[in-house]
Structure formats: structure tokens, C-alpha cells
């Protein structure tokens, strides 16, 4: 529920890794997969999609690999999620095939949910890969301690 897929995790890890490279440096899949213990085959797919969506530049040759196509500043987290998962949508009926939704006729919650969804998307759109990567570490054990991020002002 509201969870990112592992593929998005892998994408963000790889992008993080690539961002740390020198300008123009290419990195191949194996290097990334070894750095983070990600199965190469699935990482390959992830990077392919990022490349197809214009986030990565691929160098299709020996000594080739991938590099960022745009500055990390110009890539949003939403871009990454969209590239990998298709699209973000908290509504379970927002798959473009609304006919399948039994509740569509008298659905009281659609527009409120759209508002929430809009906020989430704005939030994801608003954070660039650069900002994401240089995010200050939070203090350890946050997640299992108490989710004290809750009260944190934005």
C-alpha cells in the first residue's frame, strides 16, 4: 500500500551511483549491480527503461555503459517513478479502464482522492534527483522507532 516497487528503488540507487561519477564517465550494469547487490538482469531492464525515457544515455559498445543524460537537477523523482512503473496513481480505478469500476456511478470519494493524489504528485515532481541525493541523513532508527518524520515541517 502506497509502496514503491523494488524496481524504483533500483532505479534510484543506480541514478545515485551514476550521479557520483565524473562528468562524461560511463558505468556499465555490472558495476552498478555489484555496488548494490542487485541482480544484473533486472537492473538491465530498469536502466533500459530509464534510457528509453531520456533519463539515461546509453553507450552501446564495449567499454560502454550508461551515464546521466540530463543534470540531476533536471530530473524529478516523479520522472523516475513514471519511467519505471508507468504512472503514479493512488486511485485503484485510475487505470484508464473505468468501466471496470463498479462504484463509478455514485462514487463519493473520487475527487477527494484526486486531490490527495495531486498533492503527492506535486511533492514528487518538486523534488529533483539532485536534491534527493544530497538529502541530509535522518537520525538512525527513525522508521522503526516511531515514524517521527510525521511532524516534520515541510
* Subset of 99-138 contacting its own copies (CB under 8 A): 102-103, 106-109, 111-125, 127, 132-133, 135-138
Subset of 112-141 contacting DNA (CB under 7 A): none
Which window, 1-9, 15-23, 124-132, 141-149, contacts DNA (CB under 7 A)?
Answer: 1-9
Number of residues that bind its own copies (CB under 8 A): 72
Between 6 and 134, CB nearer to DNA: 6
Q: Who's near 124: CB < 8 A, 6+ residues apart?
A: 76, 77, 78, 81, 88
- Burial of 144: CB neighbours in 10 Å, binned 0-12, 13-18, 19+: exposed
Between 16 and 59, CB nearer to its own copies: 16
Does residue number 52 form part of the binding site for DNA (CB under 7 A)? yes
Report, in Å, the least distance between residue 113 CB and DNA.
14
Element (H, E) at 121: helix 110-126
Tell how far CA 95 is from the center of its chain.
19
Q: How far apart are CA 36 and CA 76, in angstroms?
A: 22
Q: Who's near 18: CB < 8 A, 6+ residues apart?
A: 27, 32, 56, 66, 67, 68
For 89, other C-beta atoms within 10 Å of its C-beta total: 16
Asked if 13 and 27 touch (Cβ cutoff 8 Å), the reply is no
Between 4 and 26, CB nearer to its own copies: 4
Subset of 8-47 contacting its own copies (CB under 8 A): 8-9, 12-13, 16-17, 35-38
Does residue number 70 form part of the binding site for DNA (CB under 7 A)? no
Site residues (vs DNA, CB under 7 A):
1, 3, 5-7, 28-30, 39, 41-42, 44-45, 47-48, 51-52, 58-66, 85, 92, 95
Amino acid at each position: 500500500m502506497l509502496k514503491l516497487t523494488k524496481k524504483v528503488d533500483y532505479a534510484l540507487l543506480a541514478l545515485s551511483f551514476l550521479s557520483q561519477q565524473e562528468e562524461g564517465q560511463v558505468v556499465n550494469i555490472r558495476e552498478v549491480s555489484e555496488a548494490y547487490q542487485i541482480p544484473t538482469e533486472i537492473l538491465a531492464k530498469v536502466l533500459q527503461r530509464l534510457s528509453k525515457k531520456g533519463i539515461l544515455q546509453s553507450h552501446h559498445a564495449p567499454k560502454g555503459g550508461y551515464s546521466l543524460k540530463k543534470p540531476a537537477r533536471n530530473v524529478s523523482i516523479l520522472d523516475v517513478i513514471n519511467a519505471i512503473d508507468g504512472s503514479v496513481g493512488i486511485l485503484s480505478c485510475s487505470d484508464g479502464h473505468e468501466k471496470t469500476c463498479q462504484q463509478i456511478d455514485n462514487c463519493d470519494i473520487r475527487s477527494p482522492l484526486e486531490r490527495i493524489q495531486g498533492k503527492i504528485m506535486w511533492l514528487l515532481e518538486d523534488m529533483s534527483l539532485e536534491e534527493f541525493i544530497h538529502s541530509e541523513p535522518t537520525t538512525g532508527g527513525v522508521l522503526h522507532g516511531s515514524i517521527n518524520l510525521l511532524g516534520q515541517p515541510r
